[in-house]
Amino acid sequence: MQKAEAKNRIEELRREIDQHNVYYHEQDEPQISDAEYDILMRKLLELEAQFPDLIVPESPTQRVGGEPLPHFNKVEHEVPMLSLSNAFNEQDLRDFDERIKRLLGTTEMEYVCELKVDGLAVSLLYEEGRFVRGATRGDGQIGEDITQNLKTIRSLPLKLNKPVTLEVRGEAFMPRSAFTRLNEKKREKGEAIFANPRNAAAGSLRQLDPKLAAARSLDLFLYGTGMVQEETPPTHSAYLDWLAELGFRINPKRRVARTIEEVVAYIDEMEQARADLGYEIDGIVIKVNERRYYHALGTTAKSPRWAIAYKFPAEEAVTVLRDIEIKVGRTGAVTPTAILEPVSLAGTTVSRASLHNEEIIREKGLMLGDHVKVKKAGDIIPEVISVLEEKRTGAEREFHMPSSCPACESQLVHLEEEVALRCINPECPAQIREGMIHFVSRGAMNIDGLGEKVIIQLFEAGLIQSVADLYTLEEKDLLPLDRMGEKSVNNLIAAIKRSKENSMERLLFGLGIRFVGAKAAQILAEHFGDLERLRHASSEELEEIEGIGPRMADSVRMYFAKPEVEQMLMRLQQEGVNFRYKGLTQAEKGAVDSPFADKTVVITGTMEAMGRKEAKEKIEALGGKVTGSVSKKTDYVVAGASAGSKLEKAKELGVDVIDEARFLQMLADD
């Protein structure tokens, strides 16, 4: 076959395969069998093998999966991927409706209702209409690059119908039929089966071998965007239609509701139809339709105020309470956990459930050996609801909370105004171990590779007794641990070293001071700017800070007054752990005088002197705001090498463009 003839045949096959993907995934009306589809793919693969220079990134053959990856790279989202606040009943929905109307000063509000598909949230980046990168949600700021695995999803368009640049968000999921087939194959091979389609989808997309992901028949629904470099429709319903016109698969079950009563009616309807869908859903997402209200309503630290997720009532099951296990947390609180006869619940096998405290055990009248009713609160956390007293045989036994700590045998106490028993021994090994697990967690020092299992191994081996010990670990300490090869050890030591450079608020949150969460740590870091200043602050000075109450102020003062804390902080400082806040303090924000103060900046292209993240941090430290898209409100575009559509958009709008040399000079002049 001549090249010209091959080119025409290749283009014809691509169009035919793409059209059959639309029939199958978007219209749910396949026109050919799977075997016939595979024949078309084989023909295309053969022709592209003969004429490799005719292969393009958007060819259907590029979905089959390439070589296994060594690891997943980290990806910083252009716009953070926030989670949604939850509603569990009709009253929660009505409260949401009233709150929206009160904040906007209106008596009417229109909403869009969408199915909450139970899968894995993903973010897809398109540049001039071509798919260039896909990532997991991660912690909302930073996810993992799973581009090669996402390419294997046939309903994901590799090329859009228009050359737009945008970041789009959606839910990758495994259809019920694919989940059934996958588990049947695993049973035949004697392998462990997946508990539910959500776990199967997440596990498939986090395979380092894209060929395994390609064999899992995943699907995708898109529901919104992050960064967009285009004029967009004014309502969310029209916005979803616009995404569909671009070529994205949007859930057809969405509906516009003109009142909260219509929202409730839609939820009732979908709850009845839930079992007949070809995929799992665990609720309904409700969003304000008029997008002009989004800015006025704003967001909290975790979620937008203009949307809410209604969670379906939890599935219930009956099982036997075998035992009650006692766990000591990082603050010394003693928590009882129910050990249950394993039971299937909401798609997973449940064998443990939190009982919170002794008072809950007494209120529910629980006895060891009881038949109990359990559910998953929000379809996530197992919870004991009640006892089935009619099933008692007389063999059940009363449970008594211990009077001494199960970890260190110190006397347990009830602190004033607290229900929970507490161990107040600062040297309690359980508290130290749990405190270390918190210290290295994603929201705190974020030491990648240093999870709970590794911490427990290090602790049991006597290698760590304080968080300061983490910074003295060497290769010889880590190599003997389970599943720790030379490469893993080197990566872990590098991650520990990187964490030394974290800003003060991460360290402060990681210390686990009682009542000081991530938000309070940020407030304190911004106010004081340095851990040494915070350590010596009086209760009165702390209480004057907005958001810091008397209870938190006392807790902070008591924590830093402990001799063992002073010793631990001294060791951290000796190991080179940063104690300073790297953003602008409150005082600096009011006095900043720099070319970036109060300016909106977009960074595009590749710079030689520093990465995009470092450039962003430097601009923000000088009082600027870094966004992902160019608009009339943009003050500067920092353009590195190979800057693309953002640079063109800046020129169109007359935005001041800064090259790398000028950018570095502006930083140096400040």
620 domain residue, yes or no: yes
Split at pLDDT 50, 70, 90, the class of 218 is very high
79 domain residue, yes or no: no
Residue 622 sits in a domain whose CATH number is 3.40.50.10190
Q: Out of 454, 475, 499, pick the residue that ends a domain.
A: 499
Statement to judge: residues 304 and 354 lie in one domain: no
614 domain residue, yes or no: yes
End-to-end CA distance of the chain: 65
Statement to judge: residues 306 and 323 lie in one domain: no
What are residue 319's DSSP bridge partners? 372
76 domain residue, yes or no: no
Residue 138 sits in a domain whose CATH number is 3.30.470.30
41 HSE (CA, 13 A, CB side) = 16
Statement to judge: residues 510 and 495 lie in one domain: no
* This model's pTM is above 0.85: no
Q: Which amino acid is residue 52, in one-letter code? A: P
Percentage of residues in the chain having pLDDT higher than 70:
94
pLDDT at 37 over 80: no
What are residue 324's DSSP bridge partners? 338
Statement to judge: residues 456 and 519 lie in one domain: no
pLDDT of residue 230: 80
Statement to judge: residues 510 and 391 lie in one domain: no
Q: Which of 66-75, 215-224, 538-547 has the lowest mean pLDDT?
A: 66-75
Per-residue pLDDT reduced to its tens digit, 514-546: 889 888 998 999 899 999 999 999 988 999 888
Q: Which two tokens stand for residue 567?
A: 């010793």
Mean pLDDT calculated for residue range 32-45: 78
pLDDT of residue 342: 92
Per-residue pLDDT reduced to its tens digit, 252-266: 999 999 999 999 999
Q: Out of 499, 533, 559, pick the residue that ends a domain.
A: 499
Per-residue pLDDT reduced to its tens digit, 564-577: 899 999 999 999 99
The number of distinct structural domains making up the chain is 6
pLDDT at 506 over 70: yes
pLDDT of residue 1: 76
SS (H, E, C) 124-151: EEEECCEEEEEEECCCCCEEEECHHHHC
81 domain residue, yes or no: no
- State which residues form the domain around 613: 592-669
pLDDT at 416 over 60: yes
Assess contact for 210 and 151: CB atoms under 8 A: yes
Q: Out of 293, 311, 329, pick the residue that ends a domain.
A: 311
Residue 554 sits in a domain whose CATH number is 1.10.150.20
CB atoms within 10 A of CB 134: 27
Task: Identify the CA nearest to 453 among candidates 488, 428, 487.
Answer: 488
Alpha-carbon gap, residue 154 to 65, rounded angstroms: 12
Residue 356 sits in a domain whose CATH number is 2.40.50.140
pLDDT of residue 524: 94
Distant-in-sequence contacts of 528-533, Cβ < 8 A, 24+ apart: 528/581, 528/585, 529/504, 529/580, 529/581, 529/585, 529/587, 529/588, 530/504, 530/579, 530/580, 530/581, 531/504, 531/507, 531/569, 531/579, 531/580, 532/579
Instruction: DSSP letter for 606, please.
Output: B
Statement to judge: residues 51 and 33 lie in one domain: yes
Statement to judge: residues 248 and 170 lie in one domain: yes
584 domain residue, yes or no: no
pLDDT at 591 over 60: no
pLDDT at 26 over 70: no
pLDDT at 64 over 60: no
Mean pLDDT calculated for residue range 584-602: 71
409 domain residue, yes or no: yes
Residue 20 sits in a domain whose CATH number is 1.10.287.610
658 HSE (CA, 13 A, CB side) = 21
Average pLDDT, the chain: 87
Annotated catalytic residue, options 3, 116, 589, 646: 116
Per-residue pLDDT reduced to its tens digit, 436-491: 999 999 889 999 889 888 999 999 899 999 999 999 999 999 999 888 889 989 99
Statement to judge: residues 495 and 518 lie in one domain: no
116 is catalytic: yes
Q: Which of 35-49, 90-104, 318-332 has the lowest mean pLDDT?
A: 35-49
Statement to judge: residues 147 and 220 lie in one domain: yes
Statement to judge: residues 522 and 443 lie in one domain: no
Alpha-carbon gap, residue 509 to 397, rounded angstroms: 42
Statement to judge: residues 249 and 124 lie in one domain: yes
Statement to judge: residues 369 and 242 lie in one domain: no
78 domain residue, yes or no: no
